[in-house]
Amino acid sequence: MKRKNVLVMVSPMSVTRVEGIARFAREHDWNLMIQDRLGYHPVAWNGDGIIATLRSDPVTFSSIARLMRRGVPTVDLTLSRPDVDVPRVTSDHKAIGRLAAEHFLERNFSNAVWFSTGWGRVHEMRFRGLADRLGRTPAKWVLSESLPRSRQNDWGAFTKWLRGAFAAAQKPVAALTYDEADGARLLNAALELDISVPEELAILTIGDNRTICENQSVPLSSIDQNLEHGGYAAAALLDRLMAGRQPPQKPILIPPLGVVVRRSTEVIAVAEPIVRRAMEFIARNLARPIGSPQIADALDVKRTVLDTLFREHLCHSVGEEIRRQRFARAKLLLETTQTPVAEIAAETGFCSPSHLANTFRDATGASPRDWRKHALSSTLRTT
């Protein structure tokens, strides 16, 4: 049987998404031609199917449209061209917004905002999902709608605008950004304005580009869109179309995989400054044998004052907050790293691996190693 020749045109290039397509191609013996753009030099290609990101670039679109008119089966990975009748596999953008809201609500944020430099159909869907789950419409911090075009590239104008928007907001604020680039832009401006992240402004991005998220002064939490699974699903749909089967009536929506938690949202929202400072101190000192006396000394407040404030604003004690943060950090490390359990115990302030294991069993009914295996297998089942 002749091998299928498939053109993959993904712009901007997403290595994760293309890896999903390539995995299906290996399993089904396809030949792939991969382009991150067609530009002004349309590809000389004669093949069997196309997986593409159909956007507004006229030259790129006309190149793909010409192939589509020849009857070449095509799957679109975006929602940018609703005017084009084509089968689609794309992220469930409303589900992404709902997941962000869940993340904020778990951390007790009463005020969430949306931040992006632009506004379009996907922005709207993510924003609507956020609003639906919150039960209210959050503020929109959209640069293109807040500054004239001539000033949107002016960093000074941007930071001045952000200062005003933040001053008018109820503190603390949780911001969902359109992508990691917008997240990094917001973070850098906030720190320049001496806005504490995450204590005053928690930032959650979308896309989980680790090169960007992990190389910030405050690493950015991000929603994993499950792009590899989306690429694989798009290739599977194209395979059916090339076999002559009918396309689905509606786009295939890929739910997000989850939130990859990093420092930018690793906090429970609280307006009281002493409690906020205490929680930040705990987060920085989990490996140390700390308690209410050590934290009170570090903040130069009376222990009785600290204990009272924690009860009033968090409804639990300082010791309970230390245990909560230690367990949350250990759980995160088990789910997202291969760090040995003994090292995790030491890094999170458990006196021994057995102490961590007993705490984990009490909370989850599973050992740390079993929890890690379950987290890994759950990830594999979704990809």
Per residue in 220-253, pLDDT (tens digit) is 999 999 999 999 999 999 999 999 999 999 999 9
Please name the helix (run of DSSP H) or strand (run of DSSP E) that holds residue 70, with its range, or none: none
Check residue 314 and give its pLDDT: 81
Check residue 378 and give its pLDDT: 46
pLDDT in tens, 360-377: 898 888 899 888 887 655
Task: Spell out the residues 6+ positions from residue 12 whose beta carbon is closer than 8 angstroms to its own.
Answer: 36
Mind giving me the DSSP string for 83-150? Answer: TS---BEEE-HHHHHHHHHHHHHHTT-S-EEEEES---HHHHHHHHHHHHHHTS--EEEEHHHHS-GG
List the one residue out of 38, 26, 34 whose CA is nearest residue 8.
Answer: 34
C-alpha dist (Å) from residue 329 to 56, 350, 354: 43, 11, 17
Mind giving me the DSSP string for 284-321? Answer: HTTTS---HHHHHHHHTS-HHHHHHHHHHHHSS-HHHH
- The answer to whether residues 298 and 304 touch, using CB atoms and an 8 Å cutoff, is no
The two structure tokens encoding residue 58: 């006229």
Could you tell me which residue, 116 or 359, shows the higher pLDDT?
Answer: 116
pTM for this structure? Answer: 0.74
- Give residue 298's pLDDT band: very low, low, confident or very high (50, 70, 90): very high
Distance in angstroms (rounded) separating the CA atoms of residues 353 and 167: 45
Check residue 39 and give its pLDDT: 57
pLDDT in tens, 19-40: 999 999 999 999 999 887 655 5
Could you tell me which residue, 261 or 255, shows the higher pLDDT?
Answer: 255
DSSP label of 365: S
Distance in angstroms (rounded) separating the CA atoms of residues 110 and 189: 23
The two structure tokens encoding residue 383: 């990809």
Distance in angstroms (rounded) separating the CA atoms of residues 195 and 177: 17
Residue 171 has pLDDT above 90, yes or no: no
- Give residue 330's pLDDT band: very low, low, confident or very high (50, 70, 90): confident
Distance in angstroms (rounded) separating the CA atoms of residues 25 and 234: 11
Lowest mean pLDDT among 3-17, 81-95, 235-249: 3-17
- Architecture per CATH, domain 93-226+260-265, reads as 3-Layer(aba) Sandwich (3.40)
Q: Please state the length of the chain.
A: 383
5-91+227-255 and 273-382 share one CATH topology?
no
C-alpha dist (Å) from residue 82 to 56, 72, 86, 252: 11, 19, 9, 14
Q: Which residues pair with 174 in a beta bridge?
A: 112, 202
Distance in angstroms (rounded) separating the CA atoms of residues 151 and 11: 27
Check residue 202 and give its pLDDT: 95
Buried b (16+ CB within 10 A) or exposed e, 176-186: bbbbbebbbbb
- Give residue 381's pLDDT band: very low, low, confident or very high (50, 70, 90): very low
Could you tell me which residue, 289 or 56, shows the higher pLDDT?
Answer: 289
CATH of domain 5-91+227-255: 3.40.50.2300
Taking the C-alpha atoms of 108, 113, 117 and 122 in order, what is their torsion angle to the nearest 10 degrees?
90
C-alpha dist (Å) from residue 162 to 44, 166, 186, 260, 264: 47, 6, 9, 26, 18
Residue 383 has pLDDT above 70, yes or no: no
Distance in angstroms (rounded) separating the CA atoms of residues 40 and 63: 9
The two structure tokens encoding residue 108: 């007790």
Check residue 283 and give its pLDDT: 81
In CATH, which superfamily holds the domain spanning 273-382?
A: Homeodomain-like (1.10.10.60)
Section 289-313 average pLDDT: 94
Q: Where are the domains of the chain?
A: 5-91+227-255, 93-226+260-265, 273-382
Section 149-171 average pLDDT: 92
List the one residue out of 224, 230, 176 whose CA is nearest residue 201.
Answer: 176
Dihedrals phi, psi of 187, to nearest 5 degrees: -60, -50
Q: For the chain, what is the mean pLDDT?
A: 89
